[in-house]
Amino acid sequence: MVTTPALLYLLVPQSGIQYGSASPLLLTGLGRSDVTAFASGPAGTWTRVLAPWLGAPLAFGRAGAPGADGMPSVGQLLTDYGLPALPPLSALFGIAGHASGRSLSPRLHNAALRELRLPALYLPFQVDTFPRFWRWANGFGALARLPLRGLTVTAPHKQSAVEVADIVGPQALRCGAANVLWLDAGRWRAATTDAAAVLRILARAGVDPSGHRAAVIGCGSTGQAVALALLQAGARVTLVNRGHARGREASSRLGVPYVPLSRFSPAGHAVLVHATPLAERQPFPVAAVDRGAAVLEMVYRDPPTALMSATRARGLIGIDGWDVLRVEVSEQFQLLTGHPFPDELPLRSLCFSQVECADAHDLTEPGESPPAQSPIQPTSGATP
């Protein structure tokens, strides 16, 4: 770079095991306005987004769907992260998971941060080993002067979120899993928002689980949190799972009966909660569900899942994951930032404001011929 004159320089190292930390730190150390640096690969997606705040003159995005190489789409850069504007930035939030680059959480949380004019950015962190990521994230925040203030956490890292926290909420402690971590007066707190979301959504639909039989299909961390909430609300809960080992372990942890999915009948249950990723087919026969029963699922898709389509076709109470998503995001945003999620932000129009969004939340892959790469030149209203 010293010996070869150029208008712009582009540095793209492999992200490796350090979550792409080299590129943004390089930008902060160079102090040059002619260098764009980010890490390649899905683990480096967040570096592509953050680079303009650290001095990079350009951000690159695909003209169509996001790329398998970690490059976000132009639509994501505009809608999820607010580029090309660069408002002041003093803290970072994010989602830590296996496929975080395709999550809708950055779009929703960043829209709320912009609406409230909070100097923070919510980024997608693809994580393989959570303890290693946790050490790195806190170290990077100190070096870049952009401290990490909180995370939403997806499977399979929810147990690790409990382990790294200083203070764990009672429901997360009993389930052994948390989906949100936030810094509070210098101490890290962990909690699960799944329980509150389900009870609030059922109440809105006029469903009181107290004294009724309820079944939770799926015994992962989400299913266990939901089962615990229903149990504490007075329901008689049965756990249902395809894998016997996890089903028995969850049954022992929560003290409720377990039935293998192959032997489960939805008949006789007033509340049925689907807490697995299955979307293409019904996890149980909706034709056998009692009239007047409520079916709630944690999966959100558009068009609706097979389960939700069949539930509504029968005229049953059907609550899909979009309703749960809004409550979950609101609960998590409040914990992360200390501010309520703005009510005026419409969830569905945010999620589908770009044509590509259905692909993004369905985790579809781009075609064999990748769309063209388009640079965006950021504009700054203040120096970060």
| 384 — pLDDT class (breaks 50, 70, 90) | very low
Q: Could you tell me the end-to-end alpha-carbon distance of the chain, in angstroms, rounded to an integer?
A: 25
Cα(270)–Cα(38) distance, integer angstroms = 51
| 170 — pLDDT class (breaks 50, 70, 90) | very high
Q: With contact defined as beta carbons under 8 Å apart, do 54 and 113 qualify?
A: no
Cα(302)–Cα(355) distance, integer angstroms = 12
**Which of 1-10, 190-199, 349-358 ranks highest by mean pLDDT?**
190-199
Give the distance from CA 177 to its chain's centroid. Answer: 15
225-260: per-residue pLDDT in tens? 999 999 999 999 999 999 999 999 999 999 999 999
The pLDDT value recorded for residue 24 is 73
322-363: per-residue pLDDT in tens? 888 888 999 999 999 999 999 888 776 777 654 344 333 322
Report the predicted TM-score, pTM, of the whole model to 2 decimal places: 0.87
The pLDDT value recorded for residue 353 is 59
63-82: per-residue pLDDT in tens? 988 888 889 999 899 999 99
Instruction: Name the more confident of 382 and 289.
Output: 289
| 277 — pLDDT class (breaks 50, 70, 90) | confident
Tokens representing 47?
Answer: 């570096």
- For residue 378, pLDDT beyond 50: yes
Cα(199)–Cα(223) distance, integer angstroms = 13
Q: Which of 261, 307, 262, 263 minimizes the C-alpha distance to 287?
A: 307
Instruction: Name the more confident of 318 and 356.
Output: 318
Segment 113-120 shows an average pLDDT of 97
Instruction: Name the more confident of 322 and 307.
Output: 307
Q: Please, what is the average pLDDT of the chain?
A: 87
- For residue 116, pLDDT beyond 90: yes
The pLDDT value recorded for residue 20 is 56
- For residue 383, pLDDT beyond 70: no
Q: With contact defined as beta carbons under 8 Å apart, do 27 and 54 qualify?
A: yes
Residue that the structure tokens 């609550």 belong to: 319
Segment 102-122 shows an average pLDDT of 94
- For residue 149, pLDDT beyond 80: yes
- For residue 6, pLDDT beyond 80: yes
